[in-house]
Amino acid sequence: MDDNNGDQAFHADSLYGRQQEMTYGGALSFMRRRYTRKLGEAEVVVSGIPFDAATSNRPGSRFGPRAIRQASTQLAELPAFPWGFDPFEHLAVSDYGDCFLDFGHPEHMVGAVEAHAERILASGASMLTFGGDHVVTYPLLRAHAAVHGPLALLQFDAHPDTWPDQPGRLDHGSMLTRAINEGLIDPERSLQIGIRTHSEPCGFTVLDAPWVHRHGPEAVLEHIRDVIGGDKTYLTFDIDCLDPAFAPGTGTPVAGGLSTAQALAILRGLDDCNLVGMDIVEVAPAYDHAEITAIAAATLGHDFLCLRAADKRSRHRLDPSAAV
């Protein structure tokens, strides 16, 4: 018996590759990546933001990062479908763990998350982040915009999250208004996909859920190419973009949303999009059934890593002297 098998989260000697695990056992990290807070080796760093004090309906998304990690165990076992390769043969990925937040001081969350993201981005890595409610996107955008300048935003959501911003107020329905006001994102280069509630207009291109159902994922991708092109883009995926049939485990579910298949088809088609980071938010496992929501979220995160790995493979084919 090989004592090196199992618990890769602690025992892996490299951020590349993978070893055997029991899908039903072992230490949980996202995709069984090694837990480490040493930066400099990883190209993508996974972390969690367990905060839900800004939610307007059902709380519980503070448990989202834990649920998504657990749901990723089967994905970590086999070559990536439909990609047909192991992303970790090409991409160095680590799990940083969760950003520490003092529950007694929710007003410190923005500064803590921004500092957390700044530390990771300063290493040269990009981030895959699990919320938490959607307000955590705001400090993540602050950190990313400090590195990349004003960003295009690609938002999957049932809600626009553009209610009027009130100074000193922290909620998950107005943080994008604040991000616009601070110049973190450029609405004219941004899209909202899956919207099915009303809010204040903000200049985004909106492809609401009925439009997506009528026209399909390929038409969505055409609009993304037209509006964003090759601009640096931050991707935020609120899991309530999915219909409650596909994502019951969320705090503010809205009927009529996208299917998991539609969302994955769009995400997998973003190979020519310049994604600088991604977050997946609002997974609240207390309302989930059979891990439906967490599995969807884990698959979305997995496919973001596959996009990054596929891009690196492509660049290596063009320049075989480049490291893989």
Q: Is the peptide bond before 82 cis (omega within 30 degrees of 0)?
A: yes
Predicted confidence (pLDDT) per residue in 51-110, tens digit: 998 888 899 999 999 999 999 999 998 889 999 999 999 999 999 999 999 998 989 999
Could you give the CA distance from residue 251 to residue 248 in angstroms, rounded to a whole number?
Answer: 9
Q: Nearest to residue 76, comparing CAs of 19, 12, 5?
A: 19
Closest C-alpha to 49, from 146, 134, 144, 107: 134
* Model confidence pLDDT, tens digit, residues 108-125: 999 999 999 999 999 999
Dmax (CA) for the chain in angstroms is 61
Strand partners, 258: 242
Contacts of 145 (CB under 8 A, 6+ apart): 151, 183, 184, 185
Going by their DSSP bridges, the two strands 274-281 and 205-207 should be labelled as: unpaired
pLDDT digits over 163-206, tens only?
888 887 888 778 899 999 999 999 999 999 999 998 877 899 99
Structural domains in the chain plus CATH codes? 8-316 (3.40.800.10)
pTM for the whole structure: 0.94
